[in-house]
Amino acid sequence: MTAVSFFKRRISHAGLWLIAAACIGLGRANAAPSLRVFCDSAAWIGDSLSLKLQYEGTDPRHVLFPILDPQAYPGLEFFSTTPTYDTAYDKTTGLFRLRASYPFAIYTAGTYAIPPVSFRVLEDGQILIYDTDTLWVNIYEPDVDFEQDIRDIKPIHQVSVWERMADYIRRHYVWISALLLALIAAVFGWYYWRRKRRNLPVFSAPKPVIPPVDLALANLKALKEKQLWQHNRVKEYYTELTEILRVFLAGEYHIAAIEMTSDECIENLRQQYPDRKDDIRRLETVFRTADLVKFAKSEPQPSEHEDCFRTVWQFVAQHKTSTHEPE
């Protein structure tokens, strides 16, 4: 930074200091303002520079910074001829510091002069004009060997196949995502059609942790202990009974009984196990009785409740030895 003193127009520099000393000696309340100018003295071509004018006094409203005329500064490219301001207050001295900045750049090497800049300051009811000294700025350009061949700053980067693929996916990810979703939907549709054509469930029933026969017998015992139909909860009784039977058929016979209707379940058993006609016929009676209760509000006799339970128990129990119907 270069600090440049000021001199009052038509008053010598030494005289200005004498007046300031006299004012201090006399104890005047309004001390003479401090005016300074800053600018870098050297820079490279194109560097961002700033001409800064600073006023320090008791009232920042007493100073008027100029609007620069670009034609008065040949070679200097000002970004704005209107300054930007920065104000600070020193509590110790009770003075304000107001700084105005004029950013500019120079694009040709050489030595440039910044002519004096005029301040206007209000003092004792009069507007006084102060001028800065001339500033000098040296602009340098980098050394360039024009005899050497022109070459790249860095060697040419060879783009790999993976980088080209990643760039293509990044630019077309919307269409690629839509194509993948369509492909997944097509594969799922083909799988669904193939499973349905073979009369197979789309999704296989999950295998229970314990054997299906043990799970079914345990659930039947729990259902017996609830005594649902004895408490007039007949619909709930048949719902749980047929649910136990469906889960058992899905786990033991590997058919989608849970997803099928009663008729579909019986028809599937007849096709796969034609030699089990008696068992299938008894199960059909259980399913039809349950459907009448759930959908037609039928009210079977207590003996029918017991018969349906006994049918399911015996059908499940025949897959496991040493089982006894709960009393």
CA distance 120 to 151: 54
Q: Is the pLDDT of residue 105 over 60?
A: yes
CA distance 39 to 152: 36
The region that residue 176 occupies, defined by phi over 0 for left and psi between -120 and 50 for alpha, beta otherwise, is alpha
Q: What is the pLDDT of residue 327?
A: 55
Find, among 13, 6, 64, 57, the residue nearest to 31 by Cα.
57
Mean of pLDDT values over 185-204: 84
Q: What is the pLDDT of residue 36?
A: 85
* Strand intervals (E) in 142-299: none
- What pairing do the DSSP bridges indicate for beta strands 34-38 and 77-78? unpaired
The percentage of the chain sitting over the pLDDT mark of 90, rounded to a whole number, equals 31
Least confident range from 50-59, 132-141, 208-217: namely: 208-217
b (16+ CB within 10 A) / e for 6-37 = bbbeeeeeeebeeeeeeeeeeeeeeebbebbb
Q: Is the pLDDT of residue 277 over 60?
A: yes
Q: Is the pLDDT of residue 13 over 80?
A: no
Find, among 73, 147, 182, 181, the residue nearest to 117 by Cα.
73
The pLDDT tens digits for 233-256 are 989 999 999 999 999 999 888 888
Residue of 266 and 153 predicted with greater confidence:
266
CA distance 104 to 79: 5
Domain with CATH 2.60.40.10 in the chain: 6-140
The percentage of the chain sitting over the pLDDT mark of 70, rounded to a whole number, equals 87
Q: Is the pLDDT of residue 25 over 50?
A: no
Q: Decide if domain 6-140 falls under CATH 2.60.40.10.
A: yes
CA distance 81 to 100: 11
The pLDDT tens digits for 133-188 are 889 999 998 887 778 777 777 778 888 999 999 999 999 989 999 999 999 999 99
